């Protein structure tokens, strides 16, 4: 069931989403070669808690036997890792690494979700283009995130843009509604047919998140039960924001 947020709920969503935006502001200022992904995790968690929020991903349990709850505050995925990479003191950032960070903050009972991909130090042309296309895919999609349109219009626009640039979208994972729960209806794949799916209404809050692969779309899950990598070893990037459907243009809640 897709939830329509009340005016009060929208204010609470805006508050927690601002926390997420401030987390990324600090991460962007501090991320550099030689840091461990664990250090990034600590920066993000400390920032959230200083703003009265908690890391919603920490302890998140997908309910599959044998897969432990997620142990960290953010997902940090490097190069061929698409999503859900687990931070570690042993994983050190190197010059040229493509680093995708996904985080969810929880405050006053509501969740805010966003992802960014950073390039450490000097970027290769291929990496820079992948990151830019992934970000632009989000903005191509939300051109259609208007009241009266259908969710398939957003999905179709993302997929068509990514494919037009010679890249692949991840098909097994998708964006989602968000609010009191981290993952709510509707599911929002990064591909699909225009004119299909639910009709968008003011008050819907959605996490739109292109996950883009430079090579073929095939993915693998590592033994930790969380980390998703590209099967062919190609680079991947991730860009996400929580948005609000309004009577006019969508409002991006996780950008300052």
Q: Identify the H or E element spanning 212.
A: strand 211-213
CB 139 within 8 A of CB 157: no
Residue 231 reports pLDDT greater than 90 = yes
Residue where the block lists tokens 């890391």:
55
CB 148 within 8 A of CB 137: no
- For residue 174, being part of any structural domain is answered with yes
64-68, 76-80, 205-209, 250-254, range with the lowest pLDDT? 64-68
Residue 65 reports pLDDT greater than 90 = no
pLDDT for position 81: 98
Quote the number of domains for the chain: 1
- For residue 2, being part of any structural domain is answered with no
pLDDT for position 123: 87
Query: pTM surpassing 0.95?
Result: yes
- CATH number at 94 reads 3.90.230.10
Write the CA distances from 16 to 4, 21, 115, 131, 211, integer angstroms: 17, 9, 15, 26, 23
How far is 159 from 174, CA to CA, in rounded Å?
12
- For residue 130, being part of any structural domain is answered with yes
Q: What is the mean pLDDT of residues 194-205?
A: 98
- For residue 35, being part of any structural domain is answered with yes
Q: In a 3-state reduction of DSSP, which class is residue 89? A: coil
What confidence category does residue 18 fall into, taking pLDDT thresholds of 50, 70 and 90? Answer: very high
The rounded percent of the chain whose pLDDT value lies above 70 is: 100
Q: Across the chain, what does the average pLDDT equal?
A: 97
- For residue 200, being part of any structural domain is answered with yes
What confidence category does residue 95 fall into, taking pLDDT thresholds of 50, 70 and 90? Answer: very high
What confidence category does residue 25 fall into, taking pLDDT thresholds of 50, 70 and 90? Answer: very high
- For residue 1, being part of any structural domain is answered with no
Task: Quote the domain boundaries for residue 150.
Answer: 7-250
- For residue 135, being part of any structural domain is answered with yes
Candidates 54, 59, 34, 36; CA nearest to 44 is 54
Residue 247 reports pLDDT greater than 90 = yes
Residue 218 reports pLDDT greater than 90 = yes
pLDDT for position 225: 95
How far is 48 from 161, CA to CA, in rounded Å?
34
- For residue 255, being part of any structural domain is answered with no
The rounded percent of the chain whose pLDDT value lies above 90 is: 97
């Amino acid at each position: 069931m897709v939830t329509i947020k009340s005016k009060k709920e929208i204010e609470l969503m805006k508050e927690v989403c601002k926390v997420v935006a401030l987390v990324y502001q600090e991460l962007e200022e501090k991320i550099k070669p030689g840091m461990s992904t664990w250090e990034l995790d600590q920066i993000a968690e400390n920032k959230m808690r200083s703003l009265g929020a908690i890391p919603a991903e920490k302890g998140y349990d997908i309910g599959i036997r044998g897969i432990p709850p997620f142990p960290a505050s953010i997902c940090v995925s490097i190069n061929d890792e698409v999503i859900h990479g687990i931070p570690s003191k042993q994983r050190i950032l190197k010059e040229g690494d493509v680093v995708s960070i996904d985080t969810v903050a929880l405050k006053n009972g509501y969740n805010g979700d966003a992802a960014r991909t950073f390039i450490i130090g000097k970027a290769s042309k291929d990496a820079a283009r992948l990151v830019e296309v992934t970000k632009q895919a989000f903005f191509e999609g939300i051109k259609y995130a208007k009241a009266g349109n259908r969710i398939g219009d957003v999905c179709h626009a993302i997929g068509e843009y990514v494919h037009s640039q010679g890249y692949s979208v991840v098909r097994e994972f998708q964006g989602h509604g968000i609010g009191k729960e981290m993952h709510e209806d509707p599911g929002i794949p990064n591909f699909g047919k225009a004119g299909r799916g639910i009709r968008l209404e003011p008050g819907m809050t959605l996490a739109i998140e292109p996950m883009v692969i430079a090579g073929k779309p095939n993915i693998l899950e590592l033994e930790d039960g969380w980390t998703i990598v590209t099967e062919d070893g190609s680079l991947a990037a991730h860009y996400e924001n929580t948005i609000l459907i309004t009577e006019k243009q969508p409002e991006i809640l996780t950008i300052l």
